[in-house]
């Protein structure tokens, strides 16, 4: 468990310190949230500190920390693994979220829940709006869709932040995988018929804190701007890193996975813009990610 607290810069947009309890502090997004929340009264919890399946533990943690806001980014995010571990996926992603929501209600705390573009089926060809029907095609997407529905019943004022295609420092992500493959292979093949918006955890974390400060509620779509296919994403990663590897486009049918992915899962930014929050283009985010990655490598070497 990590505890942090400090005063907020008086020149910042907001000057009141929040009490925040974060579930999922050791995850990819959790690392970014811990950094972003460093000036708040933060209780940051990993799965070892608080297992979402343990209702009593979750209730006690929230009762003791008395947060203004609870950020629930902890989840079972292995999309393919969820297909063969359905019970575990629902126990963590749905029932676990319900445990947090019930404890939040009892403690009169606000809750921000991280959800996903995978609640949609990908049949649409224009950006998904917050009120478009949920129709998940994978177990992972189903767990998140059902959790959204239950949380809105338990806590009508909950804020549900849907995001997509996360990448960042401190864990496994698509750019890290591509860089590793491209450093050892002359050619790689990447799916070119799935389209979404890559989202940098640093930008997402900043936006989530802004949403808390704005007393956000309801469903909000939070991604970096613009969109691409996985092939286009990989091509930009290789180009920007200066590697000579050739990237070849392939179809989803040529690269089967246990879980079905949406062919199109671009999320409309209108709900985020309504709070006057605008995130940079994914290419700008990727450049900053690569700058940080290369800087870390140079320090190690």
pLDDT for the residue 293: 80
Residue with tokens 């009490």: 19
pLDDT at 15: 57
User: Is the CB of residue 66 less than 8 Å from the CB of residue 43?
Assistant: no
Alpha helices (H) in 72-158, listed in sequence order: 79-84, 86-90, 96-107, 139-154
| Residues 127-166: tens digit of each pLDDT | 999 999 999 999 999 999 999 999 999 999 999 999 999 9
Alpha-carbon gap, residue 222 to 76, rounded angstroms: 20
The residues that are catalytic are: 140
Give dist(CA 238, CA 265) in Å, integer.
23
Buried b or exposed e, range 198-207, using 16+ CB within 10 angstroms: bbbbbbbbbb
The DSSP bridge partners found for residue 188 are 247
C-alpha span between 33 and 158 (Å, rounded): 19
Mean of the per-residue pLDDT values for the chain?
Answer: 93
Q: Mean pLDDT in each 10-residue stretch from start to end of the chain (301 residues)?
A: 37 69 97 94 96 98 97 98 98 98 98 98 98 98 98 98 97 96 97 98 98 98 98 98 97 96 98 98 98 60 36
pLDDT in tens, 203-246: 999 999 999 999 999 999 999 999 999 999 999 999 999 999 99
Given this model, what pLDDT does residue 204 score? 98
| Domains and their CATH numbers in the chain | 2-172+198-226+266-281 (3.40.50.720)
What helix, strand, coil percent values describe the chain, rounded to 5? Answer: 40, 20, 40
163, 199 contact by CB (below 8 A)? yes
Nearest to 237 by CA among 193, 265, 200: 200
- Say what the pLDDT of residue 294 is: 63
């Amino acid at each position: 468990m990590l505890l942090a607290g400090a005063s907020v810069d008086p020149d910042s947009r907001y000057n009141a310190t929040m009490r925040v309890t974060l579930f999922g502090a050791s995850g990819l997004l959790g690392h970014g949230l811990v950094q972003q929340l460093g000036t708040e009264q933060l209780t940051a919890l990993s799965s070892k500190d608080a297992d979402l399946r343990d209702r009593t533990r979750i209730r006690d943690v929230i009762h003791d920390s008395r947060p203004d806001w609870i950020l629930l980014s902890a989840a079972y995010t292995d999309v393919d693994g969820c297909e063969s571990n359905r019970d575990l996926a629902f126990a963590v992603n749905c029932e676990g979220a319900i445990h947090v929501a019930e404890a939040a209600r009892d403690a009169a705390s606000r809750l921000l829940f991280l959800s996903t573009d995978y609640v949609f089926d990908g049949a649409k060809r224009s950006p998904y709006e917050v009120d478009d029907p949920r129709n998940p095609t994978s177990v992972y997407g189903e767990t998140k869709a059902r959790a959204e529905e239950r949380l809105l019943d338990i806590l009508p004022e909950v804020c549900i932040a849907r995001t997509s295609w996360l990448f960042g420092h401190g864990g496994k992500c698509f750019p890290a995988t591509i860089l590793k493959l491209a450093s050892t292979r002359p050619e790689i093949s990447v799916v070119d018929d799935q389209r979404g918006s890559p989202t940098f955890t640093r930008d997402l974390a900043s936006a989530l804190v802004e949403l808390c400060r704005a007393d956000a509620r309801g469903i909000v779509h939070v991604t970096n701007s613009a969109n691409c296919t996985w092939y286009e994403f990989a091509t930009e990663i290789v180009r920007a890193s200066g590697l000579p590897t050739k990237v070849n486009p392939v179809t989803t049918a040529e690269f089967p996975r246990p879980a079905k992915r949406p062919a199109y899962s671009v999320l409309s930014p209108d709900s985020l813009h309504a709070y006057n929050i605008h995130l940079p283009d994914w290419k700008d985010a990727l450049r900053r990610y690569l700058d940080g990655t290369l800087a870390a490598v140079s320090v190690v070497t």
